[in-house]
Amino acid sequence: MATTDSEFNSDLLLAHKLPETRYTYNERDVAIYALGIGACGQDAVDSDELKFVYHRNGQDLIQVLPTFASLFTLGSLTEGLDLPGFKYDPSLLLHGQQYIEIYRPLPSKAYLVNKVSLAGLQDKGKAAILELETRSYEEGSGELLCMNRTTVFLRGAGGFSNSSQPFSYKNYPSNQGLAVKIPQRQPLTVCEERTQPSQALLYRLSGDYNPLHSDPEFAKLAGFPRPILHGLCTLGFAIKAIIKCVCKGDPTAVKTISGRFLTTVFPGETLITEMWLEGLRVIYQTKVKERNKTVLAGYVDIRGLSSSL
């Protein structure tokens, strides 16, 4: 429920320092995440994807998909932030956009320290848009592994500021996470992948336990006919398709990820990801085949190209 404007002080909010969070993971977490975004879901011995869930060909460590980095932000959002004069219900959260920068390949196990800061907050009346920046450092070495900027739509959290001058704040570069223009030409390549009816139940094991993705009654109360797929799960499917089709199965080729969530996906639906190459940027959009609706669009910046492209 939104606070009244007498309780809201923008100076207090902007001066507030968010606490650091910790995130620990191992190879089991990496493999469960990969299965949650459909790795080996169409073919249990897929030569491009088996390395994300199994020590294939004697490899010492399971490889990590770059979108695994999106999990590092979960604690801050799902447990509710302590922001002066602003409250929200984490169960009413809907993902709007995710922007990720990967500075080096993610290790298969790590102890991380996350430094979290407010990147934006907008009062939209009945709802609010909250944006967080999370920088993840490896504990011990202090090396910066990645950065996430997460944009969420919070139903019922608006109206916390003066209605005549609603609060609006952003502090990150305007060129990051912008909506992309989808080319009119035919895509370079297309990947079709069916999600499983249980996809959200599997993905939630990676830490996003919002009942909107698992509880039929809760989903109906939120206005959906049945539980919906996590937006970050859809993003994982799309980026995995780009790694397979453009990066020739190499997850370390991914440098930057931007995705804007446009509408919901239901578990069991088929995702079609179309890809266009512009220099070292892959522009993509993902559609639900059964409803012919675009559900996700964005871009991926890559470190280099295979000679076959």
Q: Please tell me which residue in 37, 158, 177, 213 is annotated as part of the active site.
A: 213
3-class DSSP state for residue 239?
helix
Q: How far apart are CA 43 and CA 144, in angstroms?
A: 35
- Among 2, 1, 8, which Cα is nearest to 165's? 8
Q: Please tell me which residue in 5, 29, 48, 208 is annotated as part of the active site.
A: 208
Name the phi and psi angles at 201, rounded to 5: -70, -30
Between CA 297 and CA 304, with CA 299 as vertex, the angle to 5 degrees is 155
Specify whether 208 is catalytic: yes
Q: How far apart are CA 106 and CA 82, in angstroms?
A: 29
Q: Please tell me which residue in 41, 96, 231, 236 is annotated as part of the active site.
A: 231
Q: Please tell me which residue in 37, 102, 228, 242 is annotated as part of the active site.
A: 228
Per-position DSSP letters for 18-57, written without gaps between them: PPPEEEEE-HHHHHHHHHHTTTTSS-TT-TTTGGGTS-GG
Between CA 201 and CA 263, with CA 38 as vertex, the angle to 5 degrees is 70
3-class DSSP state for residue 196?
coil
Specify whether 231 is catalytic: yes
Here the tokens at position 130 are 């909250």
Determine what percent of the chain falls in helix, strand and coil, rounding each to the nearest 5.
25, 30, 45
Specify whether 182 is catalytic: no
Q: How far apart are CA 102 and CA 255, in angstroms?
A: 5
CA-only gyration radius of the chain, Å:
19
Q: How far apart are CA 116 and CA 20, in angstroms?
A: 6
Amino acid in the structure at residue 72: F
Specify whether 89 is catalytic: no
By annotation, the residues acting in catalysis are 208, 213, 228, 231
